[in-house]
Chain A
Amino acid sequence: MQDGNQIHAGFSDPVFQSQGAFRALLAALSEPGLACDIGVSVETPVGLEPATAVTLLTLADYETPIWLPAALRDGPAGAWLRFHCGAALVEDPSRAAFAVIDGTVPEPKLSAFNAGDDQFPDRSTTVLVQCAGLAGGEAVVLEGPGIAGRRSIAPTDLRAGFWAEIEDNAALYPLGVDLLLVHDSQVLGLPRSTQIVETR
């Protein structure tokens, strides 16, 4: 590192590590509810799950503004993303192409991010929800594209009303944000096309 010895390294082999990580992300969003291992590890700045860091290294750059909670934005995580991705860190959630939120924290709501518009629904925020775990919580049953029949997931410790927010987001279809639930090296996709069938 030329500047700032507190900034951790990024990919050691960017071409192949980003390719491998992308395929995990493609699998996660193609088959919602299926936890996929991102398959790559990097030295992660404090506050980012390993899969969050790898996802942003893989997908973010100067064309994709990132929203982070203020504590992360102003700390090592923000510096690391500016350095490795060249991404702008924005304060306004509705301007973000990517966002990282803590699944236990009540704000910001998913509705604060960009849901796209009816002619360009692709211009929506992809929200990475950092979770305490992707299994062992209360079961939620999903259906929709990418799911043969139904699929049950059980991420842990999500904020009160989280699934209602997901239902509201799905109701905007084909608009809406797309979610990646992340924990450790795992990533689980919840695109806007996924419907919540039941929560227990």
Chain B
Amino acid sequence: MTVHQSISDEAKPAYNYAYLDEQTKRMIRRALLKAVAIPGYQVPFGSREMPLARGWGTGGIQVTAAIIGPDDTLKVIDQGADDTTNAVSIRRFFERTADARTTEATDEATIIQTRHRIPEAPLKAGQIMVYQVPQPEPLRKLEPHEAETRKMHAWAEYGLMQVKLYENIARFGEVTTTYDYPVMVNGRYVMAPSPIPKFDNPKMQMSPALQLFGAGREKRIYAVPPHTSVRSLDFEDHPFRIQSWEQPCALCGAADSYLDEVVIDDQGGRMFVCSDSHHCETRRAQGHRGTMLGDATASGLVEAKS
């Protein structure tokens, strides 16, 4: 199901601004304010059904719907790209229900709804990141019962988490978790940063932007205010390290961005390119060139832009 099919133009006037009714918005807004007051703590909320299929980020969509207004400019990314089906559908949803102004430019956005990435361009004061979260509970793999994980958070009993990470190091020589790598927020709550690569974790630390997290199926909202300590869990003898690549982006030459491996032909040819498509395009527009930009443009993989 796509938004395009589920919301016809004729039906549009029947919807509330930003889809949600005012009572639901109030409930979500109250949860958001408590989330901000207790950084990293998961606030339960009465998640609503949204006209998008499960797994489409209904938690993030509800958060965005509760905060968005006429002064906002919305950017939506999925796996770092603005043009994937998921990102396009969510953007269109807010264009239709909230008459939202949208952008692909990170620095023009006031709200950035995301799945799987934090943009490479530094976030600014006044911006709000909205993360779509499939599993908000960082302890769930260790403890399946909500009643137990809630007590573990209540009493800051995070020893089990440390033991699990250390076992990983003992077996593999490093922590093998590369996505949704747990963080400690404001020195108190262990938090799931959502399935972003651990490469993005350091961007959360003391970010000038407000970060909001919505988990629709699990009915949880949590937050990290600006300028808040967000530390990836690690050990003195095994400090946290982000992913790195041996070569820069093949299209824009960036040596400091998160790269995806892309298959470029049916002979098994591959290249590594920025996962943040807007960042890569911006760099190319500024004249930065990677080693395979010429080939990729010639074969139509990348649009030639002057």
Decide whether A and B are members of one complex: yes
* Alpha-carbon gap, A36 to B44, bound state (A): 27
* Alpha-carbon gap, A145 to B227, bound state (A): 6
Name the distance in Å between A18's Cβ and chain B's nearest Cβ: 7
Q: Is the CB–CB distance between B37 and A192 below 8 Å?
A: yes
Q: Of B22, B39, B227, which is within 8 A of A147 by CB?
A: B227
Interface residues on A, range: 35 or more
Q: Which residues of B contact A118 (CB under 8 A)?
A: 154-155
Q: Is the CB–CB distance between A192 and B38 below 8 Å?
A: yes
* Binding stretch for chain B, among A1-9, A72-80, A119-127, A130-138: A119-127
* Binding stretch for chain B, among A26-34, A41-49, A88-96, A106-114: A26-34
Indicate whether A191 sits within 8 Å of B37 (C-beta atoms), given known contacts A26-B32, A63-B27, A148-B226: yes
Asked if B188 CB lies within 8 Å of chain A CBs, one says yes
Q: Which residues of A contact B226 (CB under 8 A)?
A: 30-31, 146, 148
Asked if A83 CB lies within 8 Å of chain B CBs, one says no
Interface residues on B, range: 35 or more
* Alpha-carbon gap, A135 to B23, bound state (A): 35
Indicate whether A178 sits within 8 Å of B227 (C-beta atoms), given known contacts A14-B22, A19-B69, A64-B30: no
Q: Which residues of B contact A146 (CB under 8 A)?
A: 36, 225-228
Asked if A174 CB lies within 8 Å of chain B CBs, one says yes
Asked if B189 CB lies within 8 Å of chain A CBs, one says yes
Q: Is the CB–CB distance between A30 and B210 below 8 Å?
A: yes
Asked if A105 CB lies within 8 Å of chain B CBs, one says no
Given A26-B67, A193-B39, output 9 extra A-B contacts at Cβ < 8 Å.
A18-B26, A59-B29, A59-B30, A97-B30, A122-B43, A145-B225, A146-B226, A148-B206, A148-B227
Q: Which residues of A contact B (CB under 8 A)?
A: 14-16, 18-20, 22-23, 25-26, 29-31, 58-61, 63-64, 97, 118-122, 124, 126, 144-148, 173-174, 178, 191-193
